Amino acid sequence: MNYYILSNNYRLQTTFTSDGVLAEGYDQKNPFPPMKYSWTKPRDLNRVYPSELNYIFKGGIFKLDYASFWDGYIVSREFKELIDILRCPVYKSVRLNVLNIKGERISNEGEYFFLDMRHSVQDVVDYPKSLFFLNEDMIKMRGLTIEQVKSTGDYFGNIKAYEKIALKEEKVDFNIFKLKDIAVHDLVCDEECYLKIRNSFDRVKCINLTDLKEYNERFGWSN
């Protein structure tokens, strides 16, 4: 079966989510406050989010259906509904009020949500069949050598980028899911989910896991 990694389709008019912050309120004197709340503690898988949050955005036009942001994803109501009718791991969801720098709502044409799927990551990467580049700096920081990593097969956290990702298909239980891998944050989907996205969401790009060159170019990364 074919599997795909999701990305914003930047060939169309869409939104860069890095141009915004999540906030519990709005302060005109400080519209982009640091994200320091009880629910932003690093590596906390048991975060309790408010029922609603503000996503304060630097731009004036907000158009997207899916985009990775911070520890999760910002999605449209329609994309969330697609996820919910497919086989998907349990996730946490927060309704978003999308505001501009003046505190004015700019998402009148749709509803948006922040999704957190970190506590249900899927450990299904088949490293021996995948192609990737090791993160030499990270390996050195951990007091290891490339030879040690290769001999133990402990690649988690030691990969910089993938050229190709192979999955242990017999362990894949979902149509759309998050991989247990630091080098890959975006969601991955199977053929069934891919076809539904292709037919309904022009602003979502699905890139086959067998060739991730286009995905890596999004980050300006090359070997």
Q: Is 204 a member of any domain?
A: yes
Q: Is 146 a member of any domain?
A: no
Give the chain's largest Cα–Cα span. 55
Q: Is 192 a member of any domain?
A: yes
- Token pair, residue 83, equals 């996820």
Q: Is 154 a member of any domain?
A: no
Q: Residue type at 125? A: V
Q: Is 131 a member of any domain?
A: no
Q: pTM of the predicted model, to two decimals?
A: 0.92
Q: Is 130 a member of any domain?
A: no
Q: How far apart, in whole angstroms, are the C-alpha atoms of residue 76 and residue 57?
A: 15
The model's confidence at residue 81, banded by pLDDT at 50, 70 and 90, is very high
Asked if 56 contacts 94 with a C-beta cutoff of 8 angstroms, the reply is no
Q: Which domain holds residue 120?
A: 3-125+161-217
Q: Residue type at 30? A: N
Q: Is 148 a member of any domain?
A: no
Give the lowest-confidence range in 2-16, 51-65, 147-161.
2-16
Asked if 67 contacts 112 with a C-beta cutoff of 8 angstroms, the reply is no
Averaged pLDDT of the chain:
93
- Write down the pLDDT at residue 17: 76
Q: Is 143 a member of any domain?
A: no
What are the pLDDT digits (tens) for 182-197? Answer: 899 999 999 999 999 9
Q: How many domains does one find in the chain?
A: 1
Q: How far apart, in whole angstroms, are the C-alpha atoms of residue 114 and residue 70?
A: 10
Please give the DSSP secondary-structure letter assigned to residue 58. Answer: S
